[in-house]
Structure 1
Amino acid sequence: MEDVWKKSYPEGSERRIEIPDYTIYKLLAESASKHPDSTAFIFFGKKITYRKLLGMVDALAFNLKERLRLFKDSKIGLILPNSPQYVISFFAIAKIGGVVVQT
């Protein structure tokens, strides 16, 4: 039985999509590897490079695991404004395999 929504696909369009085995952290690490000195984001006029972002993410991920003993599937609430701290925390939680609970 075909999925109902596929009936609305244009004629000849691809029905199966290969989804790569990538995590969001892996995408960040790949971007940092390819473009380490490129700007990842700008916050209040301050530019953060991919190299710097990845370093902060990795440091926080290490501390989440080693100091706080968080692990894969840990549910971690983020009560932060849109800020570098949110971005760093989000990717660090993703790196350890945790689940971000956005509030």
Structure 2
Amino acid sequence: KLTEHGIIVSTIELVPEVFYAATRNAAYVGIVLCLLAVGLVGPLAFVGAGAGALMAFKMTGFNNDPKIKVLPFLSELRYMIDAEFEEPAFENGISLV
């Protein structure tokens, strides 16, 4: 979006929300499987399953959040990106400070 103060670029991937939900659910299943492997095999199971468990914990928060980049025409202009504004000046909660 071209504004009088600069350029605001926001990108979002057009992937269905079902994909993100399936990835989060698979991560929860992976966590349970890794913990079962530790219970059955012992702590040595974390040699192989530890990386899977750590990655599964990271994948539980997998979302499709928009990526916003602000390119002001003047470097001294400051933008604030926040969704809590009463009435944001621009889309995606961006306001000129």
Greater Rg over alpha carbons, structure: 2
User: Taking structure 2 as the reference length, what is the TM-score of the superposition?
Assistant: 0.25
Higher RCO, 1 vs 2 (CA within 8 Å, ≥6 residues apart) = 2
